[in-house]
Amino acid sequence: MDSNTVPTSPTFALKKAAFSPQPASNARAPFLQTIPSAKVDENDAEFYHLRGFAHRKNGNYYAAISDYTKAIELNPKHFKAYFNRGFSYDKLGQYEQAIENYTKALEIDPSNAYTYYNRGISYDRLNNFEAAIVNFTKAIEIDPSNADFYHNRGFSYRKLGNYKQAISDYTKALGLDSEHFKAYYNRAFSYDKIGEFVKSVEDYTSAIHINPKNANAYHNRFVTLIILLKTHLHSTKEDHHMRNWKNWIMLSKILLQRFIWTQLMLLHSIVEVFAMIRWINLQKLFQIFLLPFPSTLPIQFSSKIEV
């Protein structure tokens, strides 16, 4: 199984799978390196599938589709040709055609979890999140051990605004893969949406621990910390020492013990540390970094970025 990651985007975080051909014989091995010079066997469906796969690996999706189509004409039951033609259509943004091909592949082999998985991604890209969830769920039923299946279903739930169900799926993904950066990141985003800001910061911190070069995680954590600061300042005196202060102590411990010295964004680090430890008051902090300081705190930070 060959997997291909969708280019990093602020609005999408799903990963497709593509089938590799069977190990090539000596006669067919050159196809993967020297496609133009390969001698075509016009009666061999697998020949075209292999050459189509080589085109697909080179990013030539139109040529890949042409060869997969020829393979299907020669062998209408060629599961991998349908599957990989669907993959190529998806890469070209032709999601309806991708879904059609994955559906044909499922008619040949209805037990393949990755076909449901990829079809779910194509439905998600068409903003048909309900259909995406149905397909991810089917993939999970066939193979409940794949963390990406849970993560992507959570991603579709999140787009429907069902943040609690999204959190549940991200948590299941992390139970299968404790180093799943996107599950931590997107669970943090979902926690933020339901007002669980402390848990959100904790998950962004865990995501940063896995990938300390991801600037979006630092940005989102910083925005969440600012929200916590505003909540802290406007909390009642009764809440101050019982709940919010404990939260600050916990967050300070996380930041100080684990990631202060590995921050990519130095300004964000300074703001976080100063705010958490209260070395200076909030007004002075904003006077230093965000002059002038408005009394009502209508600071507008840029929108959060989703992996």
Least confident of 33-47, 141-155, 271-285: 271-285
* Helix ranges, the chain (H): 45-57, 61-74, 79-91, 95-108, 113-125, 129-142, 147-159, 163-176, 181-193, 197-210, 215-234, 237-239, 245-254, 266-277, 282-289
The pLDDT score that the predictor gives to residue 179 is 96
pLDDT band at 219 (very low <50, low <70, confident <90, very high): confident
Whether pLDDT at 72 is above 70: yes
Distance separating alpha carbons of residues 300 and 76, to the nearest angstrom? 57
Paired with 4 in beta bridges are 16
User: Whole-model pTM above 0.75?
Assistant: no
| DSSP letter assigned to residue 188 | H
- Contact, 39 vs 50, CB < 8 A? no
Domain 179-307 has CATH 3.30.470: no
Whether pLDDT at 237 is above 60: no
pLDDT band at 109 (very low <50, low <70, confident <90, very high): very high
Whether pLDDT at 291 is above 80: no
Sign of CA dihedral 205, 211, 213, 219: negative
pLDDT band at 14 (very low <50, low <70, confident <90, very high): low
Distance separating alpha carbons of residues 11 and 291, to the nearest angstrom? 32
pLDDT digits (tens, 9 = 90+) for 254-264: 555 444 434 44
Whether pLDDT at 116 is above 50: yes
According to the per-residue pLDDT averaged within each range, which of 13-22, 129-138, 257-266, 282-291 is highest?
129-138
**Burial of 226 (C-beta count, 10 Å sphere; 0-12/13-18/19+):** middle
Residue that is written with structure tokens 């995680």 in the block: 217
Cβ partners under 8 Å of residue 6, min gap 6: 12, 13, 14, 15, 16
